């Protein structure tokens, strides 16, 4: 019973996430979109990445990797839904995980 006041004010206390890695902050949200098809939660993770881009410039390579995964997930979902024009637009954006065409590999055609 003596911890009850602490439980009541804990949500009001500021949370310092500076000690958490980018992975820990966005992993659950991004993978919710991938595994459960929960794009609302996935979009929340993408919004966190945009905020982290401003506050953690030293971790830009990690942030770029997570954004690339998120963008590719959006493109794949558009492709599965039959929205080929949107999927192509998303796949062609910089940062997408889509493999680039190689003249040496005929399987990699447009």
HSE of 47 in the Cβ direction (CA atoms, 13 Å)? 6
- For residue 6, being part of any structural domain is answered with no
Q: Report the distance separating Cα 86 and Cα 7, nearest Å.
A: 46
Q: What is the domain count for the chain?
A: 1
- For residue 5, being part of any structural domain is answered with no
Higher model confidence: residue 56 or residue 19? 56
- For residue 65, being part of any structural domain is answered with yes
- For residue 4, being part of any structural domain is answered with no
- For residue 39, being part of any structural domain is answered with yes
What residue has token string 């966005």?
26
pLDDT recorded at residue 13: 42
Q: Report the distance separating Cα 82 and Cα 29, nearest Å.
A: 25
90 has pLDDT over 50: yes
- For residue 85, being part of any structural domain is answered with yes
pLDDT bin (cut points 50, 70, 90) of residue 48 is very high
Q: Report the distance separating Cα 65 and Cα 20, nearest Å.
A: 17
pLDDT recorded at residue 14: 43
9 has pLDDT over 80: no
DSSP-derived 3-state class of residue 56 = coil
In this prediction the pTM is 0.68
Residue 90 to residues 39, 95, 96, 106, Cα–Cα distance (Å) = 15, 10, 7, 23
73 has pLDDT over 70: yes
By residue range, what is the domain housing residue 55? 21-97
């Amino acid at each position: 019973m003596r911890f009850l006041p602490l439980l009541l004010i804990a949500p009001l206390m500021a949370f310092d996430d500076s000690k958490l890695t980018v992975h820990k902050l966005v992993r659950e949200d991004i993978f919710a979109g991938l595994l459960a098809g929960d794009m609302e939660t996935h979009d929340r993770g993408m919004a966190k990445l945009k905020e982290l881009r401003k506050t953690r410039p030293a971790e830009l390579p990690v942030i770029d990797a997570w954004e690339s995964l998120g963008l590719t997930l959006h493109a794949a979902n558009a492709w599965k839904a039959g929205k080929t024009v949107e999927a192509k637009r998303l796949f062609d954006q910089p940062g997408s995980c889509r493999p680039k065409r190689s003249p040496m590999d005929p399987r990699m055609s447009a």
